Structure formats: C-alpha cells, structure tokens
Amino acid sequence: MTMVYDEALDAFEPVLGLETHVELGTRSKMFCGCKTTFGAPPNTQVCPTCLALPGALPTANTMAIESTIRIGLALNCSIAEWCRFARKNYFYPDMPKNYQISQYDEPLCFDGYVDVEVDGKTVRIEIERVHLEEDTGKSTHVGGATGRIHGADYSIVDYNRAGIPLVEIVTKPIPGTDRLAPEVARAYVTELREIMRSLGVSDVRMEEGSLRCDVNVSLMPRGASEWGTRTETKNVNSLRSVERAVRSEIERQAGVLTDGGKIVQETRHFHEDTGTTTSGRSKEEAQDYRYFPEPDLVPIAPDPDWVAELKAALPELPSVRRKRLQDEWGLSDLDMQAMHNADAIDLVEATVAAGAPPADARKWWMGELARRANETGTPLADLPITPADIARVTELVASGALNDKLAREVLEGVLAGEGTPDEVVEKRGLQIVNDEGELSAIIDQVLADNADAADKVRSGKIAAAGALVGGVMRASKGKADAARARQLILEKLGVSE
C-alpha cells in the first residue's frame, strides 16, 4: 500500500537525485551536418553518419561543445582540461549505431552547484557532472490497444532526432530536502530551464522533449545514516510531473518499506494520467554498457583562454536577474518566489517593458491569468495573450477608461480570441460610463429605489453608501466608475466623507 505523503515523511527522509537531458539548439546535429528542425517530415534529416550506415564517421560539432562548457560554467562547474567521448554500448532500434556516443568517466564539466529558493529557503543542489552525448531516433508503436510499446505489433522509426546534441546534467545525491523534496525537485528543474534559456543554448520545451528529466528517489528511516535503495523514474516531461513523480515515488516506497518490503533498484515510468509510477523493465540481467573511449573522435582539451572568454561572456544568470528585478520592482521574497514558481517573471518583465507599472503587471499575471492558466492546465506563457496586451489594459485602467471589472472582461475577450484589448473594448462595448448625465440618471433611479439606504446615508451612516454604489454598478452592468459614482451619491445626499 502506498502511504499518505505526510505519514511517509513522518517515518522517512528522502534523498533525491536528478538527471536532466537538454537538447541543444545547434543548427546541425552533434556528429554530422544534418538539420535539427523539430517536426520535420520523417527521415528527411538523416545522413550516412546519423543513420549509422557502414563506413560513416562522426565529427564533433564545435558549437555543441561550446554550449556544454557554457552550461557548465553557468552551473559553477570545473571544466575538464582533457576529456574524451566514450561509447555506451546497448542494442535498441532507436539508436542506429547500437551504441551512444556519450561521455563516461571524463565529463566535460564537473563539480558545480546551483542554488534554488524553496519556501523562502535557499537550497544548494550540487552538480556531479555535465556531459555531452547524442539523442536517439523516435519510434511509433503500431497496433495493440493503446499505441504504447507493450502489446504493439511492430514499430516504425524516424531517425530525424538521432544525433541531436544532448547535454546531460547530473546532480549529486540531494539529502536534507525533507518534506520539500517534490518542491525542491521542481524548483531545480525550473532553475535549469531558466539558465538554459538565458544562455540561449536550447529552447527547453518539455512538451517537445528538448528538456527531459529522470528523477531518482530513495528513502531512509528517520535518524538513519545510510541511504536506501533508489529508483530512477524516467522521462518526466513537465515541471508539474517532476513534483508529482517525486511525491508519488516517496509515497510508494514508504508503503513498501513500512510493509516490510524491499525497494528494488530499477527504472520506473511516470504516468501523467494517474500521477503514479510503474516498474519499467524487469531486467533479466544487469545492463553492462561496456563503455570505452570513442576511437573515432579525438580527445577534447579546451584551451583555458577560450574557457575564460566564455566565462567572461556569460549572460546575467536568472538568479542574479531575479535579485535585480526584485529590487527594481520592490517586491518581497515571497512575492518574487511565487512569481518564479508560476513562471511569470519573464512575462512580468516583458509587460513592464511594454509600459505597465510593475505592481499592475504582477497583479494581472499572478491573479487573473495565473488562475486561468491553472484552470486550463496551460503554462502561463502559452496563454493566448501577450505582455503588450496586459500593458495596454493597465494603461486603459490608469486612464480611467476601464475599471478592474471591465479590465477582467477585456482580458477574457482577448483570451477568447476576440482581438486586441482595444478591439475587445470596442466589440463588447466595455467603455466605462463617463457621461455624467447618464451616470447621474442611474444614481437618481437607484436613490429612488433605495430610499431607506439613502436616508441612512443622509443621517450620517456613510458606510451605507456602499450598498448604493453596488446598486449603481449593477444598474450600469459594471460600466460605471465606482469611485465617481460614490462621489456623486454623497453629493446628491448632501454629505461628505
């Protein structure tokens, strides 16, 4: 039986480990000149080398090596003075050579760290290594009930993706995260993604597979000093899934251990639909990858001057940028972290750049839009609305052309594809009622309909004016300027605040 998360954490402490694969956005593949365009027609971006035709040889892409070193530097790693590619040997139809050119005991970058903020605390994630390898092709499983690998009649393979440069970033074991393990895992992957973006080395789209994550989890009883057996959950393909996979695996392992069972060291698969993991492959025999130095490629010995230049030219890293923006925007740590967690910083920054005050930009993205994103399960950035749209809406509010309620309607219209904010205002007739005569007539009617309330206000109970303003707003279908309405009501009743 799986255990409830809180109970699991009462009894056990988790140790995490994360292996993240990032597809680099180079123009050509890692070891040949084929294009790397996502979604190209099948087998149109293949050549003798990436199809592993007899006789073909690899040649290493200098940009991929540069990008890997830059990633290593951004993660505070040491850069190898001398290292080699190695062959990882195993048979799989996705992998044309039946070995993957990777790196083994000599990674290009090693011993780094990255700090992430979780729950107001800074957690340092130590990086074991950053190495360069190549991606595999893509199989489609045909026949069978589910289109999944099990039960399929046969598969068809497209090798366009085979040979795209892949950087693998491996953390050291992460103890001490305690109850925050799932959040730490998510925060780490989020941070990596932002670092990759700021470096411009990858488009890091988890849904397209250009950022993929394997999550290692083990549990040890509270107070124990020896770590437990770990499982490796493969291909966790969204930030939310990273968090869920850790949580679910903690619950599962705690259940097994509490029932007196043993954790099997194995590969597991995460299922988006159920939010749980299942055992991957029952291995008849342990994998033996028979790594050896790749004889077709010569060792890499990065020139220290070159590495120093790359280091000097690194862009402002996301954590530094966040600190700067937080100061500029005058936000609290918690507000900033919430924005970070919601993936809203870029959007807010762009909205501010488009002319909106930081507080307003934050309010919209973290309020109405975050709610909407959450409801529809869409990443914030993928909502059909631009920072410029938000900036325009805040401008309309500031000028008094819209109030908050109308502004929300405008956003709804934009999200519904009705056009720009100005077009939505026009189409839906959402201008605020600025015509004093019209407003005055509405107020007179409301006062007449609510004589009791009006009397109360006249007698000095100014708080009762709220109900009258509400009446005006209802009568105007929200288009009245509430502040102005209140002002007029008080004038008409001969009282002042």
Partner 1 sequence: MSLIRKTAAELASMIAAGEVSSVEVAEAHLDRMAEVEPKVKAFLHVDRETTIEQAQAVDTRLRAGEKLGPLAGVPIAHKDIFTTRDMPTTAASKILEGWRPPYDATVTKRLREAGLVILGKTNLDEFAMGSSTENSAFHPTRNPWDLTKVPGGSSGGSSAAVAAYEAPLSTGTDTGGSIRQPASVTGIVGMKPTYGGSSRYGLIAFASSLDTPGPFARNVLDAALLQEAFSGHDPMDSTSIDAPVPSVVEAARNADVAGMRIGVLKEFGGEGFQPGVLARYNETVQLLESLGAKVVEVSCPSFTVALYAYYLVAPSECSSNLARFDAMRYGLRAGDDGTRSAEEVMALTRAAGFGPEVKRRIMLGTYALSSGYYDAYYGQAQKVRTVISREFEAAYQQVDVLVSPTTPTTAFAIGERVDDPMAMYLADLCTIPSNLAGNAAISVPCGLAEEDGLPVGLQIMAPVLADDRCYRVGAAVEQALESRWGGPLLKEAPSL
Partner 2 sequence: MSAITRDEVAHLARLSRLALTGNELDHYATQLDAIIEAVAKVAEVAAEDVPPSSHALPLTNVFRADEVRQSLTPEQALAGAPAVEDDRFRVPRILGEEA
Residues that bind partner 2 (CB under 8 A): 26-28, 32-35, 41-48, 51, 59-65, 82, 84, 90-94, 136, 139-142, 149, 152-159, 234, 267, 269, 280-281, 285, 287-288, 290, 292-293, 295, 297-303
Nearest Cα to 85, choosing from 132, 53, 31? 132
Binding segment for partner 1 among 58-66, 75-83, 232-240, 458-466 (CB under 8 A)?
58-66
Contacts of 285 (CB under 8 A, 6+ apart): none
Binds 55, which of partner 1, partner 2, none (CB < 5 to 8 A, cut-off by type)?
A: partner 1
Binds 56, which of partner 2, partner 1, none (CB < 5 to 8 A, cut-off by type)?
A: partner 1
Binding segment for partner 1 among 254-262, 285-293, 321-329, 424-432 (CB under 8 A)?
285-293
- For residues 426 and 414, give the distance between their C-alpha atoms in angstroms, rounded to a whole number: 12
> Any contact of residue 288 with partner 1 (CB under 8 A)?
yes
Binds 99, which of partner 1, partner 2, none (CB < 5 to 8 A, cut-off by type)?
A: partner 1
**In degrees to the nearest 10, what's the CA dihedral of 311, 312, 315, 320?**
90
What's the Cα-to-Cα distance from 154 to each of 139, 143, 150, rounded to whole Å? 10, 7, 10
Nearest Cα to 162, choosing from 35, 291, 59, 71? 35
Binds partner 1 (CB under 8 A): choice among 40, 63, 65, 157 = 157
Query: What is the widest separation between alpha-carbon atoms in the chain?
Result: 98
Closest CB to partner 2 among residues 47, 388: 47
Nearest Cα to 447, choosing from 487, 492, 478? 492
CA 361 to chain centre: 20
Q: Which amino acid is at 111?
A: D
Closest CB to partner 1 among residues 52, 482: 52
Binding segment for partner 1 among 55-63, 338-346, 403-411, 477-485 (CB under 8 A)?
55-63
Q: Give the three-state DSSP class for 327.
A: helix
> Any contact of residue 82 with partner 1 (CB under 8 A)?
no
Closest CB to partner 1 among residues 155, 431: 155
To the nearest whole angstrom, how small is the minimum distance from the Cβ of residue 432 to partner 2? 55
Q: Give the three-state DSSP class for 496.
A: coil
To the nearest whole angstrom, how small is the minimum distance from the Cβ of residue 139 to partner 1? 10
Binds 64, which of partner 2, partner 1, none (CB < 5 to 8 A, cut-off by type)?
A: partner 2
To the nearest whole angstrom, how small is the minimum distance from the Cβ of residue 362 to partner 2? 39
Nearest Cα to 59, choosing from 44, 71, 49? 49
To the nearest whole angstrom, how small is the minimum distance from the Cβ of residue 267 to partner 1? 17
Do strands 86-89 and 292-293 pair parallel, antiparallel, or not at all (unpaired)? antiparallel
Closest CB to partner 2 among residues 94, 126: 94
Q: Output phi, psi for 388, to 5 deg.
A: -65, -35
- 104, with CB counted inside 10 A (0-12, 13-18, 19+), is middle
To the nearest whole angstrom, how small is the minimum distance from the Cβ of residue 354 to partner 2? 34
Binds 45, which of partner 2, partner 1, none (CB < 5 to 8 A, cut-off by type)?
A: partner 2
To the nearest whole angstrom, how small is the minimum distance from the Cβ of residue 281 to partner 1? 12
Nearest Cα to 470, choosing from 485, 456, 451, 458? 485
> Any contact of residue 278 with partner 1 (CB under 8 A)?
no
Closest CB to partner 1 among residues 54, 437: 54
Alpha helix segments (H runs only) across 259-344 = 304-312, 318-329, 333-341
Q: For binding to partner 1 (CB under 8 A), which residues are involved?
A: 48, 51-60, 87, 89, 91, 93, 96-99, 153-155, 157, 159, 288, 290-292, 295-298
